[in-house]
A and B are shown apart, each in its own frame.
Chain A
Amino acid sequence: MMIPILKASNLSKVFGSGHTEVKAVDNVSLSIKAGELVLVMGPSGSGKTTLLSMLGSLLKPSQGNIEIEGINVTELKESDLPNIRALKIGFIFQTFNLLDALTVEENILFPSQLRPEGRVGVKNRANRLIEKLGLAHRRNAFPSTLSGGEKQRVAIARALINEPKLILADEPTGNLDSQTGQEVMMILHDIARDEGYAVIMVTHDPRVEDIADRILWLEDGQLHDRKSEKHSWVKDPVCGMHVDEWTANLVSQYKGKKYYFCSKRCHERFENNQESYVV
């Protein structure tokens, strides 16, 4: 049986006390295995970011346990948590959170400097990530000169540089236009499916529901499994993601039928091998 990468049991977080007490997260349990992409959705103020902060060892829970790769991080000392964050978790933020003074390559390499064992082989890995995420031509650019999509791809590469098993993404498409957002979603989808990372994503974007393995609904601090809801949108034939046919920019016609795509990536894949995507 596969050991979960992340296992949270009876997790609660209370802010304030007495009349001002707020239970942001209430007795939440979840577990995620390698290769799984789990969405955490819910209304604003439901506790999604608080939950993500606790899962990322950025916030101490008031109650409950979190195990990452079998290590109970809630029992660790405060001074041990930076190491857990550096080695076991990759963070992707809504606002990209790149370091302004560093180039694309330096930003990607930054977490590797936090590894106690040094940076052997990291440069090659950074090169591979830069190539894979289409950033080769922007290697020496500064964040202020990048587009939103490029910034988020840099942030993804940075999250992967130390090869953590767990990726936590907070609204990774929140600051991106729909097409760029879908491209970023597909990258995260591939990371989970092809490379075996466990990805937890907080999002409001309903279009990614179909590519998720599970959707968790957080409301009033409590977590529920949620059934997929049907949308009246057309499906991207490559990734299966819902695409609004009225607003989609990437369209192909094949054997008299129109196909809509969430991203350039899916569009290119389809164009390269149309037969395999058309049933």
Chain B
Amino acid sequence: MLKWAWKSLFSQKGSLIGSAAGIACAFILVIFFDAVWRGETEQIIAYPNNVKPDVWVMQSGVGNMHMAMSFVWDWKADKIASMPEVKNVTPILYLNNVIRAGDTEMFAFIVGLLPDAKRAGPWAMSAGRQIQNPREAIIPDVLSHITGVKIGDTLSITDKEFNVVGLSKGTFSSANSVLFVPFSDLEDILSSSGTYSYLLVDAHDNVEPKVLASKIMEEVEKINALPHDDFIANDFALARQMGVEVIVMMTVICSVLAALIVGFSAYSLVMRKRREIAIIKALGASNISIFYSVMIQTGIVTLLGFLLAVLFALLVVPGIPSLVPQLTILVSNEALMQLGIIALLVTILGAILPTYLVLRMDPATAFHV
């Protein structure tokens, strides 16, 4: 029976390839949406993840950076800096706002840097230089590519114009890119004085970030201090929540599409082979063995589609950002394993109707075919 299932499936190579390609397309959509979502989620937390202090200090009640607002008095920064466990404290100002670059308006994270705060600035540059003067800005290189705003051009944040002096790498996200401006300019935009948004605290080598965070919380009132890993976990969870419903919906739609393709393939396979199935039943094959054969055939078609999709995901998807730089894509093993489970469910769902038809098939028709 297995040999028949295998050989009869591969005897119609055209329809097998067509079915597998159809399923692969649906699976590729699942992988692609997931990869874009994961890539964007990673990119949303790119700034905190790359500057990576041992401890983040912020206003009490605030636990992350994404879409948050925080104010910490400057004297609190001085108090933390004076603690023996602390190596240095780098304050930043931070604002979520719309920027205008060329004809494009987009949401961005704007980080205000003190003149000596290189530690909190861009971690990789593709062109230009660091900020040295007021009203200068460093923007993501991809943003420059999309908007056409180059070094020497201007962009506006609220009602202020900034001169682009550098292009940073790895700071673009279609949801919110990271821009760097002088601290004093952002202070002006925020109409604030004597406050910071976040403090990036680096500990001495033998100090545990968790212990330091607790000690800061004990000694400085009305602030929140979190080790970097906890801070990132909070930010990541928030970033994930923002797109998860859309991705789940897309995954369900694509999975249903894949199940329909599998179902249609298995249905047409059974309909094409109904003469042979009737013969096999007449010769003495049980319903259960025919059911297994149909399941195996459906499983092989789905497996081929799955492998094609995985191959595409591993070979082609990572190359997409070089063609579409505004896309950040991350194909994860977790996503591929999830797709494997989806493929299994799709096989079972897709085989329901054909199996029902097989069970109902009358073996006596073997005399009439």
Contact of A110 among B4, B10, B287, B368 (CB under 8 A): B4
Are B8 and A111 within 8 A (Cβ)? Answer: no
Interfacial residues of chain A within 78-111, with CB under 8 A of chain B in the complex: 79, 82-87, 89, 91, 93-95, 97, 99-102, 106, 110-111
Q: Does B337 interact with chain A (Cβ within 8 Å)?
A: no
Q: Does B249 interact with chain A (Cβ within 8 Å)?
A: no
Are A53 and B283 within 8 A (Cβ)? Answer: no
Please indicate the chain A residues that have their CB under 8 angstroms from the CB of B10 in the complex.
101
Are B3 and A102 within 8 A (Cβ)? Answer: yes
Q: Does B279 interact with chain A (Cβ within 8 Å)?
A: yes
A96-138 interface mask toward B, CB cutoff 8 Å, 1 = contact, 0 = none? 0101111000100011011000000000000000000000000
Please indicate the chain B residues that have their CB under 8 angstroms from the CB of A83 in the complex.
284, 286
Are A91 and B276 within 8 A (Cβ)? Answer: no
* Complex CA distance for A87 and B276, rounded to whole angstroms: 19
Q: Is the interface of B mostly helix, strand, loop or mixed?
A: helix
Q: Does B366 interact with chain A (Cβ within 8 Å)?
A: yes
| Nearest Cβ on chain B to A39's Cβ, whole angstroms | 17
Are B367 and A114 within 8 A (Cβ)? Answer: no
Q: Does B206 interact with chain A (Cβ within 8 Å)?
A: no
Please indicate the chain A residues that have their CB under 8 angstroms from the CB of B279 in the complex.
93, 97, 99
Q: Does A49 interact with chain B (Cβ within 8 Å)?
A: yes
Are B283 and A110 within 8 A (Cβ)? Answer: yes
Knowing A49-B367, A110-B4, the reply to whether A100 touches B11 (Cβ < 8 A) is yes
Are B283 and A111 within 8 A (Cβ)? Answer: yes
A227-269 interface mask toward B, CB cutoff 8 Å, 1 = contact, 0 = none? 0000000000000000000000000000000000000000000
Contact of B367 among A53, A85, A89, A99 (CB under 8 A): A53
Q: Does B364 interact with chain A (Cβ within 8 Å)?
A: yes
Are A85 and B11 within 8 A (Cβ)? Answer: no
Please indicate the chain A residues that have their CB under 8 angstroms from the CB of B284 in the complex.
82-87, 89, 111, 114
Q: Does B281 interact with chain A (Cβ within 8 Å)?
A: yes
B1-23 interface mask toward A, CB cutoff 8 Å, 1 = contact, 0 = none? 10110011011000000000000
Instruction: Name the 5 nearest CB pairs between A and B, nearest first.
Output: A86-B284, A85-B284, A101-B11, A101-B7, A101-B8
- A sample of 11 more A-B contacts (CB under 8 A), given A101-B10, A111-B284, A113-B1, is A58-B282, A59-B364, A84-B284, A85-B283, A85-B363, A87-B284, A97-B282, A97-B369, A100-B11, A106-B7, A111-B283
Query: What are 10 of the A-B contact pairs (CB < 8 Å)?
Result: A53-B367, A82-B285, A85-B363, A86-B284, A91-B282, A97-B282, A97-B366, A100-B11, A110-B4, A113-B3
